């Protein structure tokens, strides 16, 4: 597994920071990786693509987005549902780049069904790749982030905040992630680690699949967005994540930022 480096000096608001982005090969994750590279960060992209495909993707992203000024990138194939994956992921980032400043827990797999049809398998999938994977990665990353006074960005969802139909397992896991994030923000503030949550609404392959399976629920979500559109992963969601990863948000922790076009107001 090799790392890909652009040419030229590293500049930008995230220059010299090192980030882990899970689920970084597609959807919101890919948008975050693109933004981080353009802002000067070096990124360990974690996903389930075969290694050769992942490394080609990373090379393309560096060439496309870094414009000669960004950080390096490396691809790591890892299943975050595996309890042994978290320490290996953190070790790979530190071994490659020498430090860790940012952990972005973006990856999350789930299957949708009404509550009466929700199975143990669906529950285990959502919690195994969501709340439990997030907790394990946070625990594994803590020693490194304490050294750099780093930032953790986790992902919530309006599915949990609003209780969207057919989203029971996913919604429960997302709300568990928000609860874990608030606890960690309080416990780890003394270590200089900030922990925040982004709750996005974005047009991703997963949302497209859900919209075809449950068109009425999808239309209800769309009708509830004051800005009248779903967000773009790179242009609308990734900048919020980059803000929380950078030094401009150094006084922000324990918060949920709604990158959702105004569909949910948290007061």
How many angstroms separate the Cα of 217 from the Cα of each of 29, 116, 228?
Answer: 24, 17, 15
Round to whole Å and give the CA distance between 19 and 102. 4
Contacts of 115 (CB under 8 A, 6+ apart): 168
Round to whole Å and give the CA distance between 182 and 253. 8
CA proximity to 93, closest of 79, 74, 80, 106: 74
Tokens at residue 178, please? 């928000």
- Pair 44, 4: CB distance under 8 Å: no
Tokens at residue 35, please? 């933004």
Tokens at residue 125, please? 């999938």
DSSP label of 253: -
Of 75, 170, 218, 251, catalytic: 170
170 is catalytic: yes
Active site residues: 170
């Amino acid at each position: 597994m090799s790392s890909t480096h652009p040419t030229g000096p590293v500049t930008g608001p995230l220059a010299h920071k090192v980030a882990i982005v899970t689920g970084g090969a597609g959807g919101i994750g890919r948008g975050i990786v693109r933004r981080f590279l353009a802002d000067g960060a070096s990124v360990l992209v974690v996903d389930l693509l075969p290694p050769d495909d992942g490394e080609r993707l990373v090379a393309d992203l560096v060439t496309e987005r870094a414009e000669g000024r960004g950080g390096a990138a490396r691809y790591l194939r890892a299943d975050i549902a595996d309890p042994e994956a978290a320490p290996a992921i953190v070790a790979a980032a530190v071994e490659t780049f020498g430090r860790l400043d940012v952990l972005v827990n973006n990856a999350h797999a789930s299957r949708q069904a009404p509550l009466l049809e929700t199975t143990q398998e669906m529950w285990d999938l959502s919690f195994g790749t969501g709340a439990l994977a997030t907790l394990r990665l946070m625990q594994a990353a803590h020693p490194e982030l304490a050294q750099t006074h780093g930032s953790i960005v986790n992902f919530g969802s309006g599915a949990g905040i609003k209780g969207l139909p057919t989203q029971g397992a996913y919604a429960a896991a997302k709300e568990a992630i928000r609860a874990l994030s608030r606890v960690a923000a309080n416990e780890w503030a003394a270590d200089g680690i900030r922990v925040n949550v982004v709750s996005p609404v974005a047009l991703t392959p997963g949302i497209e699949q859900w919209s075809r399976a449950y068109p009425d629920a999808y239309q209800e979500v769309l009708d509830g967005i004051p800005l009248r559109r779903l967000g773009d992963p790179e242009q609308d969601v990734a900048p919020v994540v980059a803000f929380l990863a950078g030094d401009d948000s150094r006084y922000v922790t324990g918060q949920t930022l709604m990158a959702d076009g105004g569909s949910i107001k948290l007061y």
